[in-house]
Amino acid sequence: MLEYPKFLVKSIFPTKVWPHPVIGLQPERLYWYMDALWQRRDLSGAVVEIGCHRGGTAATAFSMLKRTGHLKRYVCIDTFSGFVTSQFDRDQEHGTPSASRRFFTDNSEGIVRRLLNHYGCEEIELIPGDIASIDEALLPEAISVCLLDVDLDVPTYDGLKRVYPRLAEGGMILVDDCPEKTTWAGARPAYRRFCDELDLPVRFEMGMGIVERPRGISSRRTRIDGISSGPETRPA
């Protein structure tokens, strides 16, 4: 059960409760994400954040790009109501504590929209849905940088499968919650499984799993479980 009186106050007065962006990333990971965006500021393709919670990181990252003259499409995908029950059940088998089950539930698309507008980020697009089952036509055709921050095995793995084929040459996906030791036990094995299946290098930076599409490797050719796109080496 949601604590309704508290949720009501948050729903009616979100900008009073969170007058400034609340960033959900650890500082060193925020640095890495911002640097990934900066290094790819001239790369075409949208920035996608899967798992944006209340939009604190999105507002901060988008504002950096906008303030420095590198305005890009910034798309946030979230259930806006926390975890999908069956996906959390799977992570309990990995060892994620059941106390985390109800994290992020006191949220809504409306709250995040109002917060982002208040932070001066009206241009950020919000897509509500489960990344594992969302209509793929809603995802941007080309993605330059993706922060995948959904904490659990299933949406991390499915998110990678859906984003990677759209990743621009030189693009990067950063998967949060992948240190060796964490209570979020599912993201790291999901990242490793995806890399192993596609024979991609496994690389961890600041506790995040990194997926890159090197320049010279075009997207939209490999089939990943029925998704008809992916890497193809281009002649020089």
Ligand X SMILES: C[S@@+](CC[C@H](N)C(=O)[O-])C[C@H]1O[C@@H](n2cnc3c(N)ncnc32)[C@H](O)[C@@H]1O
Stretch that binds ligand X, among 78-86, 166-174, 204-212, 213-221 (CB under 6 A): 78-86
Minimum CB distance to ligand X smaller for 25 or for 145: 25
Positions 112 through 141 that interact with ligand X (CB under 6 A): 130-132
Does 84 bind ligand X (CB under 6 A)? Our answer is yes
Q: Which is nearer to ligand X, 151 or 169 (CB)?
A: 151
For ligand X (CB under 6 A), the number of binding residues is 25
Task: Using only the alpha carbons of the chain, give its radius of gyration.
Answer: 17
Q: Return d(Cα 32, Cα 28) in angstroms, integer.
A: 6
Interface residue with ligand X, options 10, 18, 24, 187 (CB under 6 A): 24
Is residue 14 a contact residue for ligand X (CB under 6 A)? no
Task: Determine, following the binding rule CB under 6 A, whether residue 96 of this chain makes contact with ligand X.
Answer: no
Per CB under 6 A, the segment of 5-13, 44-52, 187-195, 221-229 that binds ligand X is 44-52
CA distance linking residue 17 with residue 39, whole number of Å: 34
Nearer of residues 25 and 178 to ligand X, judged by Cβ: 25
- The residue range among 11-19, 77-85, 203-211, 224-232 that interacts with ligand X, by the rule CB under 6 A, is 77-85
Would you tell me which residues interact with ligand X (CB under 6 A)? 23-25, 49, 51-53, 56-57, 77-79, 82-84, 87, 104, 130-132, 149-152, 155
